[in-house]
Amino acid sequence: MARNSIMSSHRQVLRQIIGSNSRTFQTLIPSSPTPTPTPIPTSSIFSPVPPKPFPSGSSILSGSSRVHFSDLPFFQSRSLSSPSGPSNIVLINSENDFNSSLSKAQDDSVPAIFYFTAVWCGPCRFIGPIIGELSEKYPHVTTYKIDIDQEGLQSILSKLNITSVPTLHFFQNGKKAAEVIGADVARLTNTMEKLYKTD
């Protein structure tokens, strides 16, 4: 009953705005206060639809072979050593990984960059693709990517006095030759060119 009076008052307001003889009013506002719902036939509710069979040869299980999640394109993954970049970018996942990489850079005089980063760091996300491009430009230089939030790396970070990210340490001839703190693209590219360019 209350609903009918509300609808009636809405109709009166609309009649005043649009005009009661208006064709628009007659099409917008039905004369019946509540439309009658269309009933759903009970036969369609309770009659099950049989599942469609797989075409021959396309069964999920065919003989002894099974479909594995890794066979599906959206479950495929890349190697952890180069998640989406050049093969000379290596992820450091532990203190042992870091120590052996640092040993290569110092003892074997392998040119290397130690890139300290974090997933939550905006400047790191900005400079990441640039580091990827530079790694392709200088394939003889290995970039070691260290996520500062990895467990077990805190003692290394404090030893190296890593207080902000991104921080990059550049090694040449077994020694730390330069350091770039922040997303300074010009300084990064100039440092790489100065240290690693081969004529």
- For the question of residue 121 being annotated catalytic, the response is yes
Picking from 123, 122, 103, the residue whose alpha carbon sits closest to that of residue 171 is 103
What is the rounded CA–CA span in Å between residue 193 and residue 198?
9
Do the Cβ atoms of 88 and 143 come closer than 8 Å? yes
Alpha-helical regions (H) of the chain: 2-18, 23-28, 42-46, 95-107, 122-137, 154-159, 185-196
- For the question of residue 180 being annotated catalytic, the response is no
Planar angle of CA 100, 193, 78, nearest 5 degrees: 50
- How many DSSP H helices and E strands does the chain contain? 7, 5
| Residue 170 backbone phi and psi in degrees, to 5 | -105, 125
Query: Exposed, middle or buried, 188 (CB in 10 Å: 0-12/13-18/19+)?
Result: buried
Tokens of 46: 């309770």
What is the rounded CA–CA span in Å between residue 137 and residue 133?
6
User: Residues 124, 131, 188, 192: which is the catalytic one?
Assistant: 124
User: Residues 121, 131, 134, 141: which is the catalytic one?
Assistant: 121
**Residues noted as catalytic:** 121, 124
